[in-house]
Structure 1
Amino acid sequence: MSTDTTRRSILGGAAAIGAMAVTAFGVRAAHVPTDEEIERMTEQLSAAMKARHGGNWRWAIMHKEQIVMVIRDYQ
């Protein structure tokens, strides 16, 4: 898969999320995920990486720095 395809799919997903915030009654605030939801999504990504590439995967969420990492654990 090319890098452009990946960027395109990410941007398309972001647009879809924005579209979900619009209702028949106008625009409402977009859902802000809780810490638990963000952890669950990160765990799902870690599991997907394990299924695709094997091995064990670790993750870290740094809200202050606005960074999420999913990395392979080679230990």
Structure 2
Amino acid sequence: MIKIEDLKDITLDLSVEVGKTVKPFGYLLKLKEGDIIPLNKTMEEFLSIKINGQRFGVGELIVVNDKFGVKVIDLD
């Protein structure tokens, strides 16, 4: 029988989705440094937390010691 302690060193891919957009390739070719790409979410909306590409929960963007972080709000 597998114990939960046996799983603690397994590495998973954790990502946070800030937003999405769809743009034509020509738009991407014209991008230059300093350009802003608008996304489909507002600052007030929660971010999707994903593990290995699957939604795991939601969080909100925070700043900790001049670095971005995500505060977990709810787990699916």
Flag whether TM exceeds 0.5 (same fold).
no
Q: TM class by shorter-chain length?
A: under 0.3
Greater C-alpha radius of gyration: 2
User: TM-score when scaled to structure 1?
Assistant: 0.28
- TM-score normalised over the length of structure 2: 0.27
**Which protein is richer in helix relative to its size?**
1
